Amino acid sequence: MVLKEGNGKVKTLFHNEIIDLIPHRYPFLLVDKITNIVVHKSVTGIKSVTFNEPFFQGHFPQYPIMPGVLILESMAQTAACLVSYSDKSLSTNNLVFFTGIEKAKFRKPVTPGCILNLNVNVLANKKSLYKFSADAYVDGFLMATSEFSAMLVNQEKVLCCLLYTSPSPRDLS
């Protein structure tokens, strides 16, 4: 069941609440609003794509399109918000890292003025490893889909590993 406020309205998280959940900041925060939260199960993220996004300066100035990898990153940030919101203790000392991207398909270009609706579902969760499916829509049209996995990692372990070696997923668990 979608979370609702006391007045019956669907619970929506805005910028200040999102930055309390995930460590991303401008210019790499790629989700503007979170809604339709079903704890531990699904969430919708909203990304308003504007012409002044830094990546449009080089991708491509005459025909600006949002890079596919940034659409995937928007999906992942939406998923991270769900995981963090579902268990608020996870947002304090953990980072989320991609561990795999599968079945990514880009169907139509995302351009300035688009409002991306990022629908993310949890497919599986085992300890600190998660698998998600996600779809990105603009005005009801499917723009991109993907399945991806991610791992929660304690920030202190990441810093320790980065100081001495290139970390492998085994080092971080």
Catalytically active residues, by annotation: 59
Q: How far apart are CA 10 and CA 55, in angstroms?
A: 32
Q: Could you give the C-alpha distances from 103 to 32, 107, 128, in angstroms and in order? A: 25, 12, 22
One-letter identity of residue 62:
Q
CB 81 within 8 A of CB 45: yes
Token pair for 109 = 């270009």
Q: How far apart are CA 45 and CA 21, in angstroms?
A: 13
Q: How far apart are CA 37 and CA 112, in angstroms?
A: 26
Token pair for 145 = 């889909």
Token pair for 126 = 């085992």
Q: How far apart are CA 63 and CA 148, in angstroms?
A: 28
Tell which residue, 165, 79, 160, 163, has the closest CA to residue 125.
79
